[in-house]
Amino acid sequence: MGASSYKKPYFGMTGTMLNVWVAVACTTAMTLFGYDQGVFGGIIVTDSFLQTMGNPDSGLQGTIVSLYDIGCFAGAMITIVFAERFGRKKWLIFGVIIMSIGAILQTSAFTVAHMIVARVVTGIGNGMNTSTAPVWQSETAKASWRGGLIVFSMIMNIAGFSLSNWMTYGLSFVSGSISWRFPIAFQLVFSVILLATVPWLPESPRWLIAHGREIEGTEVLVALEGEGATVDSPHILNQKLEILEAVKIEREQSPSWGAILKGKTGNTGMVKRLLLGSGTQWMQQLVGINVTSYYLPLVLQNSVGLSNTMSRLLAACNSVSYLIFSFVGLWLIERAGRRKMMIWGAAGQAVCYALISGLLSQADGTTTRGQSFGAGATTFFFVYYVFFGICWQGVPWLYPVEINSLSMRTKGAALATGSNWISNYIVVQITPTGIQNLGWKFYLIWMAFNTAFVPLIWMFYPETSNRHLEDIDKLYRDNQGLVFVLGCKEAYQTERPQRFIDAEREREEEVKRSPANHDVKDVKDEKSVGEVDHTEYTQTSMK
């Protein structure tokens, strides 16, 4: 190919700028997720929608809203089976297309059956997207950026949620079906952005190398590094070695799903890691966020006794507060670490639900005193969102990506996402009936869950901040009986363990001492603590 016809990949972008564009695509996917999650909270109290759907009772309303989560669960399970063979980019594109079809079907719905089918289709696409975007983001981002970028993508998830609240509030003053059809159709704007960006961005270098495309994978590592890096740069070769090491160990020891179900997973700690990753998503739902995310206007109407317009306005204002405070989580994610953020958040949320329950038990919209109690409960709904936005919005999406091994990362993230959606379905399905039948006592359930999660996280969850993804593999190989993390400082300290830093330096020094062409197969047979023979593996992988 002549020089005149050569086109630089990624429109010539490298380093920070290329990382930014990958982040744009991933955050757009999560913004779409947030928008879709919030939009029905305003639609479910819209008169035109209720009339079109035949004025469904609270049980059918819950079904219409919650079957979306069943679709999301199905999308996550499909991802487990098929996504790894297609790669991160293609699978995300498939998900966007399916979600767009669902949005069109929802916009054109005139019956409950039509709407339910449309919600399920939209959910399948969203389940595929939310299982894939965090993995793609984490596998392309620099280690020091990874936590911040994924938390930022979840902040944009809140921005999408806030946008949907304000849009449904604004259109509540408009008569006719446009008041609910337009907010649903607006999802397609995000789909257009994704379809315009994802195709030309780089595939995950870890996925490429794991699938035998080492040259492409190394070139992507170089492009993402920028700053004059080449395929021969010591830092690039060291990253490649880390990935190759993880791939070799996983191929030698990675069990089938049948073996995983039987607990035969060798020394990789695979089952424990899958359960920990899925557990964060179960906990995110059981702390009670979607009691209010999907239904806050309904909650404020039925539990607090506010008017329809005031409930919508407060829900929209709350979404802005939620968005603003979530930026604190972006600052804390690497400083405080994953464990502390989840523990602090659960403790604060437990207190909020305790106070909400107590205040609502005394609330009465007919007297001044009762209205004061209702106002107090509304305040603590806002405070609850502050804790959740800072501590729990991003970590459960980041943790499954970090805790699982390379070969199980897609499956682990999809299983965790599936856990999120099935638990989400349970919460969303029971909430309208729970509010109607239990009143203020319904919120005590979520207080109890939050309280229980504090010691659970403290005892069982390893820290994953400030570490390379491959560091977690080494932790579990070297501590095969690791369940309770309190007995292993490397498992719970926020800082990266020193031996991992030393091992990385040794590899970089070894690369620098190798011949000028930096042929990886000539690296000497020296092993760091907990590492395998890089030379033998690289020779095997290059055959």
Which value, to the nearest 10 degrees, does the dihedral of the CA atoms of residues 55, 57, 60, 65 take? 80
Place of tokens 């981002």: 141
How far does CA 145 lie from the centroid of its chain?
16
Question: How many residues appear in the chain?
Answer: 543
Cβ neighbours of residue 378 under 8 Å, at least 6 residues apart? Answer: 300, 304, 306, 314
Per-10-residue mean pLDDT for the chain, 543 residues long?
59 88 92 88 87 87 85 88 90 96 94 94 93 88 76 85 90 90 95 95 92 91 87 85 79 68 70 91 91 74 78 86 86 89 96 92 73 84 91 87 77 80 84 84 95 96 87 86 88 88 80 55 36 33 32
How far apart are alpha carbons 474 and 326 in whole angstroms?
Answer: 32
How far does CA 124 lie from the centroid of its chain?
16
How far apart are alpha carbons 502 and 471 in whole angstroms?
Answer: 12
How far apart are alpha carbons 177 and 87 in whole angstroms?
Answer: 40
pLDDT at 255: 64
For 38-89, give the DSSP string: HHHHHHTT-HHHHHHTT---HHHHHHHHHHHHHHHHHHHHHHHHHHHHH-HH
Q: How many other C-beta atoms can be found within 10 angstroms of the C-beta atom of residue 80?
A: 18
How far apart are alpha carbons 237 and 409 in whole angstroms?
Answer: 22
CA distances from 236 to 9, 226, 465 (A): 18, 11, 22
Helix (H, G, I), strand (E, B) or coil at 482: coil
Q: How many other C-beta atoms can be found within 10 angstroms of the C-beta atom of residue 188?
A: 15
How far apart are alpha carbons 155 and 159 in whole angstroms?
Answer: 6
- CA-nearest of 486, 479, 477 to 459 is 486
How far apart are alpha carbons 157 and 35 in whole angstroms?
Answer: 7
Helix (H, G, I), strand (E, B) or coil at 102: helix
pLDDT per position as a tens digit, 233-257:
888 888 888 888 877 776 776 666 6
- CA-nearest of 139, 146, 151, 153 to 345 is 151
Two structure tokens written together for 259: 């073996």
How far the first Cα of the chain sits from its last, in Å, is 27
Two structure tokens written together for 477: 């190989």
Helix (H, G, I), strand (E, B) or coil at 463: coil
Place of tokens 């919030």: 38
Cβ neighbours of residue 449 under 8 Å, at least 6 residues apart? Answer: 283, 286, 287, 288
DSSP 304: I
pLDDT at 5: 46
CB 269 within 8 A of CB 483: no
pLDDT at 517: 46
pLDDT at 335: 87
Q: How many other C-beta atoms can be found within 10 angstroms of the C-beta atom of residue 392?
A: 25
